[in-house]
Structure 1
């Protein structure tokens, strides 16, 4: 009896600490040490230094930005909001005025995120729980589309829109492009999450007379909220910060987003680059709000479908 107690005691201790003697458990124990926490804090601080320097530069006068580094600010502090006023509203002889481009970015990003996330959720549900011929081959095709370079599809898609539709050069074109380019990753991510849902839920719903649409709306969507939030963050950040697709599928200041205007702020000769510091922080405002508001779902969504149970 004593041997049994001595054998089971270490196992009980490990279970109480919540770290089983597996590879994942050993990694979890190492990452939970004080040394790992200190290293993580140091990495976070080092990673933040460039952003902090950019913020300091955005508040410095033009002459100081062009002649000294941002770290000299602490020796001779001098702050101004002229850079922000210039890029947002513009002044005489300048070409700032990011306000209208800011609105264009919102008009492009919000519908594109809505379309891509909604279609990805419905497609992932169909590929996970609806039985039809060729379902597995379709999923393999969707998975394979993730390795196709974005640049290969830009011109063919643009010609398709110009030749067969009237969407070329407007908001509809860029919405369509972002939706197409975001679907493979979205379907793959949500499929991995939905396929791990308990089968008993769907069988009980069918017994109660619920159809596929009701099951998707009442059961699946509430359970996949973390994955939907993570996908929304990914899509929003990618579309908001996109420059290549915007350059190809939009034309004129009436439809071009903030990123296109930021690329032009330095001037034709690159001598007005002091505007980029304040312009960069203006463009970061909305993504920060979106990320901070959905961050509690972010980690759970990243791990969606990674483990069972």
Structure 2
């Protein structure tokens, strides 16, 4: 086999795979980058141009009114009004007298706009408006400008969201819900997974089959019966129904089947010799679990922690049902949903809110992502 054949057989497929992965990564990254850039842009620029033009400026149409007769001066046989349309920071590229044609005339050129009137608007916004007769009685002519504005970035969008929109309180509520709702099912599922993997007892196979079956049960199917049972228990014990404990238990119940299945597959794949040696040395099942199984199972625990954290953090339905919709009870997704209704046209507010919601999940994912694949694939070849 010559070198050319070797490249064709091994080099091109590998290159294709790398290129495909790169394209997929870029496609996944673009929306996040767009949200970040838009959340930092000035609100006037967001409405007229896409985020990909943020670093090159944007063209906008502005309606302005020229000076009136009080600012006219006689110049020879005619009259002239001169001034500036704005303070600076913008560049006029064209102007017109009709809103449909804001770029009818180029900036810097004196043009005849009819009725013996000429108008010259420079790029910096200064202008000369000439007329053969006096401007007395004129209100001031309206003109339309095509203006290039330089890139403008600000943190005001985030300040508005955090301080004025109640997102700060909702952020704390989301953390209060998500952290316990991630830790509790991990603790319970780890004990159950060890029992199903390494402890012999009647009905173990049936329990494993039930756990696998529960994974495919839709959340919506079990939500109403669970809520009804939860309310009945609360009424029996005289406990308020809208509490953090309730939503923790709900998320624990919905996340438990996947957690047990994932952890059981991993723990069952641990070397049998380690478990047997510990038992020969007199270790109890609890000691084996705490000192041997739990440390070795960290990749699987981290994998499930990522899934559960992202699921609970992004949840809206369970939070609204079990926690409520009062302003001081809203989680971050609920507050953002309310914001979509009240500030649907304010894109700068929505993008800043959206980026705040993904900051914590991104941190959690990148902190634990090296364990994700290990935890998912471990136990897929060898089972117990």
Q: TM (normalized to structure 2)? A: 0.69
For the structure 1 residues 167 and 233, does the alpha-carbon distance in structure 2 shift closer, same or farther, using more than 3 Å as the test?
farther
Q: Among residues 132, 135, 155, which one is paired with 2:201 in the alignment?
A: 132
Given the alignment of the two structures, is residue 261 of structure 1 paired with residue 335 of structure 2, yes or no?
A: yes
Greater mean alpha carbon deviation, residues 42-51 or residues 220-229: 42-51
Choose from 84, 101, 118 the match for 2:187. 118
List alignment gaps of at least 5 residues for structure 2.
Answer: 1-8, 58-150
2:319 is matched with which residue? Answer: 246
**Alignment pair present for 1:176 and 2:249:** yes
Residue 283 of structure 1 aligns to a residue in which SS?
helix
> Equivalent residue for 1:302?
376
Match of 2:27 among 46, 54, 61: 46
- In structure 2, what is the Cα distance between the partners aligned to 1:167 and 1:192? 38
Distance 1:30 1:240, change over 3 A: farther
Who is 1:100 aligned against?
169
TM-fit CA distance, 1:289:
1.5
1:65 to 46, 61, 77: 46
Once the two structures are superposed, the pairs formed by residues 141-180 of structure 1 within 5 Å of their partners are 141-165=210-234, 166=239, 168-180=241-253
> Is the 2:174–2:332 Cα contact (8 Å) retained in structure 1?
yes
The CA distance in 1 between the partners of 2:226 and 2:50, in whole Å, is 44
Please give the root-mean-square deviation of Cα atoms over the aligned residues, in Å: 2.0
Deviations 1:175-234 (A, max 9, x none): 011000000000000111111122222222111111111010011111111111111111
Larger mean Cα displacement after TM superposition, 145-154 or 70-79: 70-79
1:212 maps to which residue? 285
The separation in 2 between residues aligned to 1:302 and 1:79, in whole angstroms, is 41
Q: 1:237 aligns with which of 300, 307, 310?
A: 310
Task: Say whether 1:186 aligns with 2:244.
Answer: no
1:287 correspondence with 2:287: no
CA contact under 8 A between 2:227 and 2:322: conserved in structure 1? yes
* Aligned-partner SS, 1:74: coil
- CA contact under 8 A between 1:101 and 1:261: conserved in structure 2? yes
Gaps of 5+ in 1: 1-25, 91-95
1-structure distance, mates of 2:302, 2:249:
21
Instruction: Tell me by how many angstroms 1:32 deviates.
Output: 7.5
Q: Which has the higher contact order (CA 8 A, sep 6+)?
A: 1
Shift of 1:307: 2.0
- Structure 1 residue aligned with 2:14: 33
Residues 1:82 and 2:151 are matched in the alignment: no
Contact 1:120 1:186 in 2 (8 A): yes
Distance 1:120 1:163 in 2: 26
Separation of aligned partners in 1, 2:187 and 2:12? 36
Stretches of 4+ moved more than 3 A in 1?
Answer: 29-32
Conserved? CA contact 2:46–2:347, under 8 Å:
no
Cα deviation for residue 46 of structure 1 reads: 2.1
Q: Which has the larger radius of gyration?
A: 2
Q: Which moved more, 1:50-59 or 1:140-149?
A: 50-59
SS of the residue 2:340 aligns to: coil
2:43–2:347 contact (8 Å) kept in structure 1: no
- How many residue pairs match? The answer is 277
| Matching residue of 2:93 | none
**Partner Cα separation in structure 1 for residue 343 and residue 297 of structure 2:** 50
Report the Cα distance in structure 2 between the residues aligned to 1:31 and 1:122, rounded to whole angstroms.
47
